[in-house]
Structure 1
Amino acid sequence: MNVRRRSSAAALAAIAVIGAAAAPAAAADPSSAPSASAPSEPSGLYGTADPRYDGVWRQSLALLAQKTVGVVPSSKAVDWLTGQQCDNGAFAPFRADPSKACDAKTMADTNNTAAAVQALWAVGGRGDVVESALTWLKSVQNKDGGWGYTPGGPSDANSTSLVIGALTVTGTGPEQVRKDGKSPYDALLAFALPCAEDKGSGAFAFQPDEDGKLLANADATAAGVLGALGEGLVTEAGEKTDDAACTDAEKPTREQAAANGAAHLADAVAEDGHLKSALGGSADQPDYGNTADAVVALAAQGGVEKAAEPLAWLEKNAAKWAERSGPAAYAQLIFAAHATGTDPRAFGGTDLVAELNATGPGPQGAEARDTATASDQADEKDEKKDESGFGLWWFVGVCLVLGIGIGFLLSGRNKKRQP
């Protein structure tokens, strides 16, 4: 993630968000965000936290997760997302007044746009919106073939992988989308670390550091594995493979880079069953978001068995995290369940689907009744903790530069559907 603020206050605030629900790969400059107080809950939006920094992100994940488990989202929720699109096809994290045209101050980005593409393609009936968004994404491709968070920003593994997913699920071959002869895969593989590295063997870096060195990052590795496989935000398990081991090659194929990244993730979760995050000398903490990403990446690359240990840890420990974090976290766990063939309605004793449905407008059909019940139960609790994007995901940039990773959802193998 690109860092816009490097103050000690930002670093301290970032500690508070470690392990929160996944947010886009980089964050907009906080100075560009609306200065007004947090808006009231917009009709149709999932979650009750301030949407200024993650409204489109959490909405996209919520809709996509619902469709993944066979729930028909509320038309009001779909309309909310489509209404966020700018005339040029791009999406920003949140537009308080969609009737007002986007201008130079509107912080449109590739991550929210690519996520919205995948969600709206899945729900169907929004082909014009999807096509416009894809056209914009192609127009801001970098000369190395990749994408940064903001148009014109340097390419990074997370943003490039997320756009690869948007291209793939809509039937647009990423290898055919080129700039100056470079494809998205050319850019992505440039972030893969060689196996000879003492730390981070086979991992992906988010971006080169200031000295041009690639540093392993769990967030970018989960993203890179799925991007290299050509996957989107929802995936099923791949074919079972032998235990992965990092294998060097002068120019690794996409498949080999994905296998190397999966081997790195498998080693990282082997000791405790989960990934960890820390900041500025603080004690290691479980990284729920990146662990869920690792489950999806491991399953997609090498089959369900490769993801068994971190999946079991999530089933045992992630319910409270998702309750605190909201729609995006529930969606992330649903993606992990789907990738491993696990029932999301009985995920360690939690019905992830009902809990997700209860964070927004009731879905269409029979699921709406279940949502009403879950919502009534939630109202009886003394206090509903902050949901979704924790209102300040621009601090995530601090975490990524320090090699922490907050958990970025990337998965794949969406079955193609006509919009």
Structure 2
Amino acid sequence: MTVLRRTAGALAATAVIGAAMPATTALAAGTTSPSPSASSVLPSGLYGGSDPKFDGVWRQSLALLAQRAVGVTPAAKAVDWLAGQQCANGAFAAFRAEPAAACDAKVTVDTNSTAAAVQALKAVGGRDAAATKAVSWLKSVQNKDGGWGYTPGSPSDTNSTGVVVGALAAAGASADRSPYDLLAKWSLPCGQDGGGALAYQPDKQGKLAANADATAAGVLGALGKGFVTTAGKARAEGPACAGSGTARTREEVARNGAAYLADAMSKSGHLVSALAGAEPQPDYGNTADAVVALAAQGWTGQAKKPYAWLEAHAAPWAEQSGPAAYAELILAAHAMGADPRDFGGTNLVTALNATGPAPRAAAAVAKHAEEKKSGNSVWWIVGTGLVAGIGIGFLFSGRRKQQQL
């Protein structure tokens, strides 16, 4: 699920709690996250400079995950900020301006923020208790159909189900009811338009429509993988949707979904965002997610073209969109076995780090340099004092000699 899709989900949930979120609610690719109200002073441990009302926990979680994926140790206060957002029942909201206050009915917790936080807390280490509590909450709000909705009690959707499956996998946990049957149910048959893709969720008439964002999330969910993944074992079969009916197994869901994504990006090298009344435009976030899904499926060959397209075009989008966008690109590079520090001439890791508190290693180096500088100044002063003291000593010694004479 892209940063833009995630923000749209938060907007939808804020407007109508429990309402189904249609695929067309995604914000236009290339736009920044909305800032509905001017924040006061942003927390020093938070990544990104935009209003965190709708995506604070989400972007923080992705930033920490991306840093750990490339061997960077996040700043302690960045991890503390994320952990401090957790409610007593284990859930997370998109953002809590007053984390010390208890979570009451006015705090809208959601599965996406919670699942992302679980993956991040497990990745940074030392936060198992918080992650375990969050997993317990996620399991407690699983729907009877085996999936999860954005908010507790809302209808299941593929995106939320996929991110929760990733959280459970990261924590080494399992759901009480299998979510894979639901994903298979929402996989479009190969013989029809959009065959192999997954729907976000059925419409009011029960019809399914192909959704690339949901498909990328569904592929990772069917594979039992989270946001951070490496390339799967190379597949002998080509990227083609197989089967005349709806996919029956999680393996078929992943294969057919990945085949749909590969075909959708085969010509242009990227996915598009088509909002009502607007011209279709490149969708950078969904393309990055699709690269991760293809790599996880073992089809890195089919992911090379979209990854190259991202290298050539996505850096300005990430600079405009913030830490979650940088994180998505880093995770795509990681899945492909590429170097995110040389992403079409951009060092994504340095760019991400610059959006928040300096990672521990970088902070330690800066502190050491400052201490060294201060230390040299101190010793210069001490040295100067010693020289001056020696001079004064000679002066007093001369005076004593003159008095003796």
Work out whether the TM-score is over 0.5.
yes
Q: CA deviation at 1:335?
A: 0.3
Q: How does 1:362-381 map to 2 (within 5 A)?
A: 362-366=358-362
Distance 2:289 2:37 in 1: 34
Q: Output one character per residue of 1:180-235: Cα deviation in whole Å (capped at 9) or x when no partner.
A: xx41212222221111212x111000010111101100000000011000001101
Look up the match of 1:57: 58
Give 1:165 deviation, angstroms. 0.4
Distance change >3 Å, CA 259–CA 36, structure 1 → 2: closer
Q: Structure 1 residue 17: deviation in Å? A: 3.6
Q: Which residue of 2 aligns with 1:409?
A: none
Letter in 2 for 1:290: N
Looking at secondary structure, tell me which structure has more helix per residue.
2
- Aligned partner of 1:18 in structure 2 is 29
Residue 225 of structure 2 corresponds to residue 224 of structure 1: no
Which of the numbers 196, 199, 220 marks the counterpart of 1:205?
199
Task: Please name the residue that 1:45 is paired with.
Answer: 46
Query: Which structure 2 residues correspond to residues 299-310 of structure 1 after superposition, within 5 A?
Result: 299-310=295-306
* Distance (whole Å) between structure 2 residues aligned to residue 251 and residue 17 of structure 1: 31
Letter in 2 for 1:217: N
Q: Compared with structure 1, are the counterparts of its residues 36 and 305 closer, same or farther at alpha carbon in structure 2 (3 Å cutoff)? A: closer
Is 1:114 aligned with 2:108?
A: no
- Superposed CA offset, 1:73-106 (max 9, x none): 0000000000000000000000000111001110
Q: Sort the Cα spacing of 1:147 and 1:15 in 2 relative to 1 into closer, same or farther, 3 A.
A: closer
Q: Scaled by the length of structure 1, what TM-score is found?
A: 0.79
Are positions 1:183 and 2:183 aligned together? no
Q: Whole-Å Cα distance in 2 between the matches of residues 319 and 328 of structure 1?
A: 13
Residue 381 (structure 2) aligns with = none
- Given the alignment, which residue of 231, 238, 242 partners 1:243? 238
Deviation at 1:36, TM superposition (A): 6.2
Q: How does 1:140-219 map to 2 (within 5 A)?
A: 140-172=141-173, 174=174, 177-178=175-176, 182-198=177-193, 200-219=194-213
Q: Which residue identity lines up with residue 75 of structure 2 in the other structure?
A: S
The residue that corresponds to 1:69 in the other structure is 70
Q: Structure 1 unaligned runs (5+)?
A: 24-29, 371-419
CA distance in 1, matches of 2:112, 2:123: 17
Distance 2:276 2:299 in 1: 36
Tell me the distance in 1 between the aligned counterparts of 2:114 and 2:26: 27
SS in 1 for 2:258: helix
Question: Do the aligned partners of residues 358 and 250 (structure 1) sit closer, same or farther apart at CA in structure 2, a change above 3 Å counting?
Answer: closer
Paired with 2:131 and 2:99, the residues of 1 have a C-alpha distance of 17
Q: Which residue does the alignment assign to 2:293?
A: 297
- From 324, 329, 350, the equivalent of 1:328 is 324
The equivalent of 1:352 in structure 2 is: 348
Q: Contact 1:262–1:298 (CA<8 Å) still a contact in 2?
A: yes
Larger of the two Rg values belongs to structure: 2
Q: Calculate the aligned-residue CA RMSD, in Å.
A: 2.4
Do the aligned partners of residues 80 and 91 (structure 1) sit closer, same or farther apart at CA in structure 2, a change above 3 Å counting? same
Q: Distance in 2 between matches of 1:60 and 1:250?
A: 34
Q: What CA distance in whole angstroms lies between the structure 1 residues aligned with 2:247 and 2:74?
A: 44
1:41-91 alpha-carbon deviations (Å, 9 max, x no partner): 112000010011100000000011100000000000000000000000000
For the residue of structure 2 that corresponds to 1:276, the secondary structure is strand
Separation (CA, whole Å) in 2 of partners of 1:350 and 1:303: 25
Letter matched to residue 225 of structure 1: V
Instruction: State which drifts further: 68-77 or 252-261.
Output: 252-261
Q: 1:354 to 1:368 in 2, by over 3 A?
A: farther
The CA deviation string for residues 98-149 of structure 1, in whole angstroms up to 9 with x for no partner, is: 1110011101000000000000000010111011101100110100111000
% identity of equivalent residues: 62
User: Structure 2: 5+ residue runs without aligned partners?
Assistant: 1-8, 17-21, 367-405
Deviations 1:6-39 (A, max 9, x none): 9xxxx9x978642458x9xxxxxx9xx9x86423
Aligned mates of 1:217, 1:67 — CA distance in 2: 30
Instruction: Give the aligned residue type for 1:48.
Output: G
Give 2:190's aligned amino acid: C
Q: 1:127 to 1:191 in 2, by over 3 A?
A: same
Specify the code of the residue in structure 2 equivalent to 1:18: A
Query: When the two structures are superposed, what TM-score results if normalisation uses the length of structure 2?
Result: 0.82
Does residue 135 (structure 1) correspond to residue 136 (structure 2)? The answer is yes
Alpha-carbon offset, residue 307 of structure 1: 0.5
1:208 is paired with a residue of what secondary structure?
coil
- Alignment-mate amino acid for residue 281 of structure 1: G
Higher RCO structure (Cα 8 Å, ≥6 apart): 1
Equivalenced residue count is: 349
